[in-house]
Every structure is written in C-alpha cells, then in structure tokens.
Structure 1
Amino acid sequence: MKKLFLIIGAPGSGKTTDAELIAKRNPDTIVHYSTGDLLRAEVASGSELGKKIKSYIDNGNLVPLEIVINTIKSAIEKADKNIILIDGFPRSVEQMIALNEMLKTSKDIDLVAVIEVEVSEEIARDRVLGRARGADDNVEVFNNRMKVFLGPINDIEKFYSKQKKVNKINGERTVEEIVDEMEKIIKEKI
C-alpha cells in the first residue's frame, strides 16, 4: 500500500523545497514529486502536450484537470517507494474531487495526510519575486497565481478537515524547523 502525503501552500511557501529535503533525508523510503516539476518536465520534452501545458503555466493559469490528474496518477504508479510526497496539488476543488475519485477506485494508494505550509502573501511574494526562476515569476503572474491559490483553499481545507487529514505548519520559520516538523508529522502518520 502506497502512503500519499499532499503538501499544499501558496506560491513561494517553500513546499517544494521542504518536500525535497525530506525525500533526501529518507532516500530508501520516501519519494517526492512536485506537480510543477512534473508539468515543467513535460514542457521541456518539447512534446505537443508540453507546448499546451506551457501556454497555461506562462500565464499563471491552472493546467487542465485531465492532464494534471493523469500526470499525478502516472507518477504515483511509477514510484519506487511506498511513501509519496506530492506538492502543489490539489490546486482547485475540481482537482481535489478528481483525486478523491481516483483514490476511491485505487486499492493500493492511501491518502494519509494533507500538510499545509502557511505563509503570508507578503512573504510569498518576496520569495517568488526574489527567486525569479522563469517567465512565470513576475508580479502580474504571481498575483494571478496567488488568486488561483486563494480561491479554492477554504473549500480544500474544509474537505480534508472533515476527513481529519489537515496538518497546518508555519512556513515563516527556518527551512530546518519547517522540514523537521513536516518530517515528524509524516513519520508519526506512517
């Protein structure tokens, strides 16, 4: 049975870095996938699908549901470890519902917890604009990404809170403090 942990948070919350570090600390048992990285890898491949994905990412918009769900499902199925961290997902109520449906039909994947890394909008903006990884890291795109994040977050929190799966952590501390707390939550749940 694969144990799935979803790491969510605003753009710039540090969720990808945190999950990467936990996977590096536990290379024999934990694998990490960033939804953004999975989609960017498809873009980098130069495929037709990659070109389609790029047009959404460059404007800070959500990639269509079917593409994201298939990408996530494929990553989980190919995972060579039983503890899987996926960050940046779900980003919409539709993604959450589609994931829930996928999990209902899958006998070998258990959603253990949703860990939300909380940061203020000001901190998130400073981090994203300070890193400037690419065309999607500018003020206009950040503002759109933040709006896209904030729109469904209350519904996502309520949905997973009813299942007693939400764990919120303060993302405005040192990376080490955040990673230590997140790793502790994961290990306590498995």
Structure 2
Amino acid sequence: MKKLFLIIGAPGSGKTTDAEIIAKRNGDIVAHYSTGELLREEVKKGTALGATIASYIDNGKLVPLEIVIDTIVSAIKNSDKDVILIDGFPRSVEQMNALDEILDKNPDIKLEAVIEVVVSEETAKERVLGRARGADDNEEVFKNRMKVYLEPLAAIEKFYEEKGVLKKIDGERGIEEIVDEMEEFIKSKI
C-alpha cells in the first residue's frame, strides 16, 4: 500500500525543499514529487500539453484540474517507493475533491496526512522574490499566486481537519528544525 503525504504551503514556504531533504534522507522508502516540478518537466519536453501548462504557470494561474490530477496519480502509481510526498497539492477545493474521489476508488493508496508549512505572507514574498527562479517570480505574479493559494485555504484546512489528517508546522524557523519536525511526524505515521 502506498502511503501518501500532501505538503501544502504558500509560495516560498519551503515545502519543496523540506520534502526534497526528507526524501534524500530516506531514499530507500520515500519518493518526493513537486506538483510544480512535474508540470515544469512537461513544459520542458516542448509538447503541446507542455505549452498549455506553460500558459497557465507563466501567469500564476492554476493548471486545469484534469492535467494536474492525471500527472499526480500517474506519479504515485509509477513510483517504486511506498511512501510518497507530494508538495504543492491540493491548491483548490476542486483538486481536493477530485483527489478524494480518486483515493476512494484506489484502496491501495492511503492519505496519511496533509502537512501545512505555515509562513507569513511577508516571509513568503521575501523568499520568492529573493530566489527569482524564472518568469513566474516577480511581485505581480507573486501577489496572484498568493491570492490563488489563500482563497481556498480555509476550506482545504477544514476538510482535512475533519478527516483528522491535517498537521500544521511553523515554517518561519530554520530549515533543519522544520525538516526534523516534518520527518519525525512522517515516520510516526509509517
């Protein structure tokens, strides 16, 4: 059975870095997929699908539901590891509901926890604009990405809280502290 951990947080919260470190430290059992990276890989391939994805990413908009869900489910099913960390998902109530339906139909995948890395908007902005990885790392796009992240957040938190799988972690601390807490929590669930 695949044990699934979703890691959510504002742009710049450190969720991808945290998950990468945990996967590296536990490479024998843990696989990590960043929703953003999975989608950017498709863009790099130069396919028609990649061009469609790019048109959304470059404007800080959500990639259509079917594309994201297919990408994630395919990554989970094709993974050779039993513990899967996916960061940056879900980012909307629609994504959350679609994943919930898929999990209902796939008893071989169990959602163990949704880990939210909590940072202030100010911290998120400083980190994103400080790293400036690409065309999507500027103030205007950041504001849009933050708005897209915050709008469904309360509903997503409530949904997973009611399922008893939401875990919040303070993302304002040093990376080692955050990673250690997250890793310890994940190991307690597997």
TM (norm. structure 1) is: 1.00
Aligned to 1:28: 28
CA RMSD of aligned residues (A): 0.3
Percent sequence identity over aligned pairs: 71
* 1-structure distance, mates of 2:71, 2:62: 14
1:136 and 2:136 aligned: yes
- Residue number in structure 1 paired with 2:183: 183
One-letter amino acid of the counterpart of residue 107, structure 2: K
- By how many angstroms is 1:107 displaced? 1.9
- CA offsets 1:137-184 (integer angstroms, 9 cap, x no match): 000000000000000000000000000000000001111000000001
Q: Which position in structure 1 is the counterpart of 2:114?
A: 114
CA distance in 2, matches of 1:178, 1:31: 19
1:143 maps to a residue whose letter is K
Q: Which residue of 1 aligns with 2:87?
A: 87
TM-score between both structures, scaled by the size of structure 2: 1.00
Deviation above 6 Å: which 4+ runs of structure 1?
Answer: none
* Distance in structure 1 (CA, Å) of the matches to 2:49 and 2:97: 23
Opposite residue 146 of structure 1, the aligned amino acid is: M
Spell out the pairing of 1:29-178 with structure 2 (5 A cutoff).
Answer: 29-178=29-178
Cα distance in 2 for partners of 1:148, 1:155 equals 13
Q: Distance in 2 between matches of 1:141 and 1:46?
A: 23
Give the secondary-structure state (helix, strand or coil) at the position aligned to 2:186: helix
The number of equivalent residue pairs is 190
Q: How far, CA to CA, are the matches of 1:165 and 1:143 in structure 2?
A: 29
- Displacement of 1:19 in angstroms is 0.1
